[in-house]
């Protein structure tokens, strides 16, 4: 029997601001930075050197440079990703690297960041890191995302190494979950953020794991069906992922960006939606409903993203069959479920009918007073 676990708190980096005051007839400028690195010992031979930085307001970063061990490298600033980054064209030698990064705002204001990273002697090469299992999982993940209108995610070597290491740990110890113990075989890091950092990832990340799936694609589908997992996996912006499957154990690590808007799953006009869902999710979304059966209707999720949006309230909901019959359901909101923030989940109390079209409407209000309304249809398998 497949069980799914998800990481309740995303491993995220906080932001901080740095400013230069007025200088002559030039206005003051400010930058924001979310992270930089890698900043510790890493087990990857070609880590991606990154400074996540952007200018405030109408100001723009007009130039960026990076010097590593005294040599200028071909670093590029990407205003969409908000980062200055350098990707080594080949594996680097074991040793310590001193990084000096600099950005220029509006062609005059300079800001810099310095850090050190050490490539460990047990660092792995990454040229042939994408396995058949990884590809199958990522292809299935992107198939589902594209069907929802989300951007596909790119393979990332660092995240894939972290996922592979954790899957190996789970299989060796025949256990599930996100935590690892140093005394057990296959240990690489106690928590997901420790493992992704060890393999050179810089930035926020999420992790989902399952046990009992029959294939990488099966692992992805089961995780997507579980509503808590789906909330993280349906972050709408472009991103990067890594995945690993071994001996019925599956791990995916990801870093996906957020784009403002309201997003739903199943998608509008979605076809072949499973009528039922067998609840084996950990934490259990039905923990507050002792009357709930293990086999329920397929969960419906709505996520709201936007600047300053930290909470949503359910104003109204509707789930009906094609002929207008109302479907009894559980309504999970941030006000009755501590694991939710800007998401609402509807879970039908009984499996839906096969080959049937359902209409859904949801109306939410965020903490800024804005209303978010969605109405759509989907058809079951």
Q: What is the pLDDT of residue 127?
A: 57
Among left, alpha and beta (phi > 0; psi -120 to 50; other), residue 186 is left
Residue range 242-293, pLDDT digits in tens: 999 999 999 999 998 888 999 999 999 999 999 999 999 999 999 999 999 9
Residues 199-225 have a mean pLDDT of 94
3-class secondary-structure state, position 213: coil
Domain chopping of the chain, boundaries: 16-123, 125-256, 261-380
Higher-pLDDT residue of 142 and 259 is 142
Mean pLDDT of 78-99: 95
Mean pLDDT across 204-224: 94
Rg (CA), the chain: 23
Average pLDDT of the chain to the nearest whole number: 92
Task: Decide: helix, strand or coil at residue 106.
Answer: coil
Band the pLDDT of 6: cuts 50, 70, 90.
Answer: very low
Q: What is the pLDDT of residues 89-131, one digit of tens each?
A: 999 999 999 999 999 999 999 999 999 999 999 999 875 568 8
pLDDT band of 57, cuts 50, 70, 90: confident
For residue 379, give both structure tokens.
Answer: 């058809």
- Is 22 a residue whose pLDDT tops 70? no
Q: Please name which of 224, 273, 277, 258 lies closest in space to residue 341, comparing C-alpha atoms.
A: 258
Q: What is the pTM of this model?
A: 0.90
Instruction: Specify the pLDDT at position 307.
Output: 83
* pLDDT of res. 77: 98
Is-same-fold flag (16-123; 261-380)? yes
User: What is the domain class of 125-256 according to CATH?
Assistant: alpha beta
Question: Residue 323: its pLDDT value, please?
Answer: 79
Highest mean pLDDT among 14-18, 72-76, 155-159, 203-207: 72-76
125 versus 22: the higher-pLDDT residue is: 125
| CA-closest candidate to residue 186, choices 167, 204, 207, 205 | 167
The CATH architecture one would assign to domain 261-380 is Sandwich (2.60)
Residues 290-303, mean pLDDT to the nearest whole number? 98
List, as one string, the DSSP characters of 336-350.
T-TT-SSEEEEEESS
CATH dotted code for 16-123: 2.60.40.1220
Q: Give the pLDDT score at 220.
A: 96
pLDDT at 380: 98
What's the confidence (pLDDT) of residue 24?
A: 53
- Percent helix, strand, coil in the chain, to 5, is 15, 45, 40
Q: pLDDT for 322-370, tens place per residue? A: 878 899 999 999 999 999 999 999 999 999 999 999 999 999 999 999 9
| Residue written as token pair 């590809």 | 135
pLDDT in tens, 178-207: 999 999 999 999 999 999 999 999 999 999
Contact 348, 329 (CB under 8 A): yes
Question: What would the mean pLDDT of 288-314 be, rounded to a whole number?
Answer: 96
Asked if pLDDT for residue 21 goes beyond 80, the answer is no
Distances (CA, A) of 171 to 181, 183, 282: 14, 15, 19
């Amino acid at each position: 029997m497949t069980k799914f676990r998800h990481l309740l708190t995303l491993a995220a980096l906080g932001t901080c601001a740095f400013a230069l005051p007025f200088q002559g007839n030039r206005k003051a400028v400010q930058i924001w930075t979310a992270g930089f690195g890698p900043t510790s010992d890493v087990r990857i031979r070609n880590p991606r050197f990154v400074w996540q930085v952007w200018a405030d307001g109408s100001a723009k970063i007009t130039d960026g440079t990076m010097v590593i061990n005294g040599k200028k490298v071909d670093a590029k600033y990407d205003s969409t990703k908000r980062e200055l980054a350098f990707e080594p064209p080949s594996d680097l030698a074991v040793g310590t690297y001193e990084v000096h990064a600099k950005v220029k705002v509006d062609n005059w204001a300079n800001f810099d960041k310095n850090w050190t990273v050490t490539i460990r002697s047990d660092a792995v090469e990454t040229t042939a890191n994408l396995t058949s299992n990884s590809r199958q999982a990522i292809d299935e993940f992107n198939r589902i995302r594209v069907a929802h209108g989300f951007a596909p995610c790119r393979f990332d070597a660092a995240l894939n190494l972290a996922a592979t290491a954790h899957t190996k740990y789970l299989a060796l110890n025949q256990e599930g979950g996100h935590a690892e113990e140093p005394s057990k075989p296959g240990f690489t890091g106690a928590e997901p953020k420790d493992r992704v950092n060890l393999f050179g990832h810089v930035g926020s990340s999420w992790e989902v794991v399952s046990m009992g799936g029959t294939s990488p694609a099966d692992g992805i589908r089961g995780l997507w069906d579980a509503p808590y997992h789906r909330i993280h996996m349906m972050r709408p912006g472009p991103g990067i992922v890594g995945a690993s499957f071994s001996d019925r154990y599956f791990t995916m690590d990801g870093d996906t960006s957020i784009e403002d808007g309201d997003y739903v799953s199943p998608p509008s006009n979605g076809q072949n939606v499973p009528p039922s869902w067998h609840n084996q999710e950990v934490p259990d979304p039905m923990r507050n409903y002792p009357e709930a059966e293990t086999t329920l209707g397929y969960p419906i999720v709505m996520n709201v993203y936007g600047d300053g949006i930290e909470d949503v309230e359910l104003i109204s909901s509707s789930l009906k069959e094609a002929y207008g019959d109302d479907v009894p359901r559980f309504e999970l909101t941030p006000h009755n479920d501590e694991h939710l923030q800007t998401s609402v989940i509807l879970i039908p109390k009984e499996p839906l009918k096969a080959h049937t079209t359902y209409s859904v409407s949801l109306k939410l209000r965020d903490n800024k007073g804005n209303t978010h309304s969605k109405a759509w249809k989907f058809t079951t398998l």
